[in-house]
Amino acid sequence: MTTAPTDPDPTTDREQALLELLRGSGLRVTRPRLAVLGVLAEGGHLEVDEIATRVRGLLDSVSTQAVYDVLSALARVGLARRIEPAGSPARYEARTGDNHHHVVCGGCGLIADVDCVVGEAPCLEPSSPRGFVIDEAEVTFWGLCASCQANPPE
Ligand SMILES: [Zn+2]
Ligand SMILES: [Zn+2]
Ligand SMILES: [Zn+2]
């Protein structure tokens, strides 16, 4: 007996990819970790509260503290990146390891990715690193987004 091939379930495929990401990082696979990774993989620079709300839409009960713990574990193994522009709560994103930078709107707080001109970390060589060995340069550009230019904030 043969069964007709069915289209792979995209949800299952996506979960499988996330599962492999987690396994590849050496982290134990847990449902909260899969859920947080899935939320981050949808893109953007998300605040912890927003991630927690979306995770709770997928899983029954996950505390905000548990989400914090998952995020720091993911950041530690390089599956998530934490950014914290001045005056904004910490945000996390799934785009890691490419040394990209951020542009932040001073009007509404919108954050967008900008590719690094140089590409490799650290892209800025301090002329006098004061004895430090530099791993990373965090560059934040500030400006006004297109919508705030059209409708300047009061
Ligand atoms: Zn704006
Ligand atoms: Zn980013
Ligand atoms: Zn750069």
Bridge partners of residue 103, in order along the sequence:
112, 141
Distance 78 CA to ligand 2 centre (A): 13
Q: Which residues 6+ apart lie within 8 Å of 125 measured at CB?
A: 134
Residue 105 CA to ligand 3 center (angstroms) comes to 19
> pLDDT of 55-70, one tens digit each?
999 998 899 999 999 9
pLDDT the model gives residue 9: 58
Mean pLDDT of all residues in 4-30 = 81
Residue 129, burial from CB neighbour count under 10 angstroms (0-12, 13-18, 19+): exposed
Mean pLDDT, residues 133-142 taken together:
85
| Average pLDDT along the chain | 89
pLDDT top residue among 34 and 136: 34
Give the closest residue to 85 by CA, choosing from 103, 97, 108, 64: 103
Q: Comparing 90 with 4, which gets the higher pLDDT?
A: 90
CB 86 within 8 A of CB 138: no
Amino acid 126: pLDDT: 78
Q: Which ligand is nearest to the CA of 120?
A: 3
Distance in Å, CA 90 to ligand 1 centroid:
18
Domain coordinates of the chain in residue numbers?
1-96, 97-154
What mean pLDDT is predicted for residues 135-152? 90
For domain 1-96, give its CATH number from 1.10.10.10, 3.40.1010.10, 3.40.50.720, 2.40.30.10: 1.10.10.10
Give, in order, the Cα–Cα distances in Å from 7 to each of 11, 12, 17: 11, 11, 17
Among the bound ligands, the one closest to the CA of 105: 1
User: Angle CA(83)–CA(85)–CA(135) in degrees, nearest 5?
Assistant: 50
Q: Are 98 and 44 in contact (CB under 8 A)?
A: no
The residues near 56 (Cβ < 8 Å, ≥ 6 apart) are 62
The residue behind tokens 């542009």 is: 103
Looking at the CA of 124, which ligand is closest?
A: 3
- Report residue 117's pLDDT band, with 50, 70 and 90 as the boundaries: confident
- Higher pLDDT pick, 132 / 3: 132
Tell me the β-bridge partners of 143: 105
Class of CATH domain 97-154: alpha beta
pLDDT tier at 119 (50, 70, 90 boundaries)?
confident
Distance from C-alpha of 153 to C-alpha of 3, rounded to nearest angstrom: 60
Q: How much distance in Å is there from the Cα of 14 to the middle of ligand 3?
A: 31
